[in-house]
């Protein structure tokens, strides 16, 4: 899956990919697209989102006046919807909204910027999200996004995350991005997870 950051320079201070870029990417790949909407009132672009061919959409509830209705409309059109929790938001104060979503995205660095370090305190929020889910509720998975290097990925997976957004701190930190470099990152995360499990076992 390709995770594409859409920013408007208002909800966050920077600009990300445009809708034209999304359309161009959709035209050259069959890989599923995930749109991370860091924009004001994303429901204004519902038709554009539906026409983009995106498989999943992540949005920030504080950016939308009627987030429940936005989730319902996207899901009714076959799009999987994730609710993003930025650093000042917790599972507890968004519980009713999270129950409507397909998955939860924990932002592990400040939104709207690339290359910022991972905030290790967010590991507890991942654990809280995991405990919030109903037993056996595999549909509402947990995604983490922001400063995810090998160590951060391993820690978040150990806390219950099942989808990792890899960007500037992982895949794009390498000078030569190939399928082998992606596989190498996976192997390194597996090793880090193994090391963590040994620590927990004492």
Which are the contacts of 131, defined by CB distance < 8 A and separation ≥ 6? 160
Active-site entry in 5, 8, 125, 149: 5
Q: In b/e form, how buried is each residue of 95-107, taking b as 16+ CB within 10 angstroms?
A: eeebebbbbbbbb
Rounded distance, CA 134 to CA 153, Å?
23
Pick the catalytic residue: 8, 125, 145, 149?
145
Active-site residue flag, 51: no
Tokens of 88: 């000042």
Nearest to 118 by CA among 76, 170, 75: 170
145 as an active site residue: the answer is: yes
Taking CB atoms within 8 Å and a gap of at least 24, the contacts of 18-26 are: 19/45, 19/48, 19/52, 22/52, 22/54, 23/52, 26/52, 26/53
Tell me which residues are annotated as active site.
Answer: 5, 145
């Amino acid at each position: 899956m390709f995770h594409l950051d859409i920013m408007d320079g208002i909800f966050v201070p920077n600009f990300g990919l445009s809708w034209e870029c999304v359309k161009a990417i959709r035209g050259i790949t069959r890989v599923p697209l995930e749109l991370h909407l860091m924009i004001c009132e994303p429901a204004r672009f519902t038709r554009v989102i539906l026409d983009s061919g995106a498989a999943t959409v992540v949005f920030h509830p504080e950016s939308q006046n009627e987030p429940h209705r936005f989730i319902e409309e996207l899901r009714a059109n076959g799009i999987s919807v994730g609710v993003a929790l930025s650093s000042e938001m917790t599972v507890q104060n968004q519980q009713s909204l999270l129950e409507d979503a397909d998955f939860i995205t924990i932002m592990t660095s400040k939104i709207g910027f690339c290359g910022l370090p991972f905030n290790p305190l967010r590991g507890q929020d991942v654990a809280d999200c995991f405990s919030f889910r109903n037993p056996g509720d595999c549909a509402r998975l947990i995604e983490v996004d922001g400063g995810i290097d090998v160590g951060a990925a391993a820690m978040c997976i150990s806390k219950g995350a099942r989808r990792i957004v890899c960007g500037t701190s992982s895949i794009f930190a390498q000078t030569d991005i190939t399928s082998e470099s992606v596989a190498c990152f996976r192997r390194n995360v597996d090793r880090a997870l193994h090391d963590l499990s040994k620590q927990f076992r004492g």
